[in-house]
């Protein structure tokens, strides 16, 4: 029903224009005595031009229907991705209207379009050199929309400390909404040319890590049990896949452990890390264990006794 409502207006206008074309002999016979043949022919040109523009309007409406979302938001409240990316839909609409304008020039006004295309090519080259950075961002945005490395609602981390949920992907930039509610606008060229992490793909669950340093005197098995029990009690840590603890390195200051856990919301990653570290510190305190501290070994060299003969010779 929605598609029929959106396409009904262009269809009705095209039907009216077709009726005017069918009644052209009758209209010419009644218009020429009053307005003359020139204005009567102008009426034909107006009808033909309007028919091309209305056809382009109907094509744009069809593109909008294809680019619309798939039936509202997801069950979790995030918006569903469109069937056709917004940038590609804008390009298709621009192409449809451009074809309609060229058709009016060629078939209605009977003007040569080859010279116009050549002249416009030179103008486009000049504008392209002046706006090369913006054009690079536009084509990067088109490539991102075709490849779909991220979509609306995904949580991205572009660099350490720069992360947010994708709110908009337009012609030039991608807008993220950070966890503090601020908007981060990043040009598409920077996004396409750099490494980023998508916490929402291929599935919402992802694994995060927290490094912890403990003294070497603590048995490894005991340390792993304490850290694992802390992660299982932390809020936001998924029970499956099961968290685990690995020995990362043995350093002069102690043994470095890596507590690995799974979460399902990139927006709450900092809160989940806080919950894990809070639970770890609580378990260590109850077990009577403190995190490792930097150890320094200081050695004092005894003072050297003076050589009596060398001192005597030096004084002489």
What is the distance between the alpha carbons of residues 49 and 47, in angstroms, rounded to a whole number?
Answer: 6
CA-closest candidate to residue 105, choices 52, 47, 57, 56? 52
Asked if residue 264 is part of any domain, the answer here is yes
Asked if residue 294 is part of any domain, the answer here is no
What is the distance between the alpha carbons of residues 52 and 48, in angstroms, rounded to a whole number?
Answer: 6
Q: Are residues 81 and 65 in the same domain?
A: yes
Total count of domains within the chain? 3
Q: Are residues 52 and 28 in the same domain?
A: yes
Q: Are residues 120 and 178 in the same domain?
A: no
CA 32 centroid distance within chain: 60
Q: Tens of pLDDT along 25-73? A: 666 666 666 555 665 566 677 777 888 888 888 888 887 777 765 545 5
Higher pLDDT, 271 or 78: 271
Asked if residue 305 is part of any domain, the answer here is no
Asked if residue 62 is part of any domain, the answer here is yes
pLDDT at 260 over 90: yes
pLDDT at 236 over 60: yes
Q: Are residues 125 and 12 in the same domain?
A: yes
Mean of all residue pLDDT scores within the chain:
79
Query: Which pLDDT score is estimated for 8?
Result: 77
In terms of residue numbers, what domain contains 185? 149-198
CATH code, domain carrying 169: 2.30.30.60
Q: Are residues 53 and 163 in the same domain?
A: no
Higher pLDDT, 147 or 284: 284
Query: Which pLDDT score is estimated for 230?
Result: 93
Asked if residue 144 is part of any domain, the answer here is no
CATH code, domain carrying 237: 3.30.70.100
pTM above 0.75, yes or no: no
The mean-pLDDT minimum among 84-93, 145-154, 155-164, 272-281 falls in 84-93
Q: Which ranges of the chain would DSSP assign to H, the alpha helix?
A: 2-22, 24-67, 86-103, 114-130, 132-147, 188-192, 220-233, 269-286, 308-315
Residue 105 DSSP SS3: helix
Highest mean pLDDT: which range of 146-150, 243-247, 263-267? 243-247
Q: Are residues 108 and 153 in the same domain?
A: no
Token pair belonging to 261: 């856990």
| Average pLDDT of span 133-153 | 81
Q: Is the peptide bond before 107 cis (omega within 30 degrees of 0)?
A: no
| Average pLDDT of span 275-300 | 82
What is the distance between the alpha carbons of residues 217 and 226, in angstroms, rounded to a whole number?
Answer: 15
| Average pLDDT of span 205-212 | 91
pLDDT at 213 over 90: yes
Higher pLDDT, 34 or 157: 157
The mean-pLDDT minimum among 190-194, 257-261, 280-284 falls in 190-194
Residue at which a domain ends, from 98, 130, 162: 130
Q: Are residues 261 and 181 in the same domain?
A: no
Give DSSP secondary structure letters for 283-303: HHHHTT------------PPP
Query: Which pLDDT score is estimated for 69?
Result: 55
Query: Which pLDDT score is estimated for 72?
Result: 52
Query: Which pLDDT score is estimated for 262?
Result: 93
What is the distance between the alpha carbons of residues 156 and 186, in angstroms, rounded to a whole number?
Answer: 12
């Amino acid at each position: 029903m929605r598609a029929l409502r959106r396409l009904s207006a262009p269809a009705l206008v095209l039907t009216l224009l077709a009726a005017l074309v069918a009644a052209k002999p009758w209209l010419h016979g009644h218009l020429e005595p009053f307005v003359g043949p020139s204005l009567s022919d102008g009426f034909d040109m107006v009808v033909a031009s309007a028919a091309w523009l209305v056809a382009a309007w109907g094509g744009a409406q069809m593109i909008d229907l294809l680019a619309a979302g798939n039936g509202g938001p997801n069950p979790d409240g995030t918006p569903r991705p469109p069937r056709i990316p917004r940038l590609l839909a804008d390009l298709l609409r621009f192409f449809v209207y451009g074809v309609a304008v060229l058709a009016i020039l060629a078939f209605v006004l009977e003007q040569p379009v080859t010279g116009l295309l050549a002249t416009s090519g030179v103008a486009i080259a000049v504008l392209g050199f002046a706006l090369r950075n913006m054009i690079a961002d536009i084509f990067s945005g088109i490539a991102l929309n075709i490849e779909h490395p991220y979509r609306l609602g995904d949580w991205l981390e572009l660099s350490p400390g720069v992360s947010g949920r994708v709110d908009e992907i337009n012609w030039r930039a991608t807008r993220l909404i950070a966890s503090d509610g601020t908007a981060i606008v990043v040009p598409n060229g920077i996004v396409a040319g750099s490494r980023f992490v998508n916490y929402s793909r291929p599935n919402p669950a992802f694994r995060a890590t927290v490094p912890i340093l403990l003294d070497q005197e603590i048995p490894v098995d005991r340390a792993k049990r304490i850290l694992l029990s802390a992660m299982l009690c932390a809020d936001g840590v998924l029970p499956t896949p099961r968290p685990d603890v690995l020995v990362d390195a043995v350093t002069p200051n102690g043994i470095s452990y890596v507590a690995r856990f799974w979460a399902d919301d990139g927006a709450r990653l900092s809160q989940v890390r806080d919950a894990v570290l809070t639970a770890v510190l609580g378990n260590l305190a109850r077990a009577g264990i403190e995190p490792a501290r930097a150890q320094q070994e200081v050695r004092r060299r005894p003072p050297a006794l003076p050589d009596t003969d060398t001192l005597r010779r030096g004084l002489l």
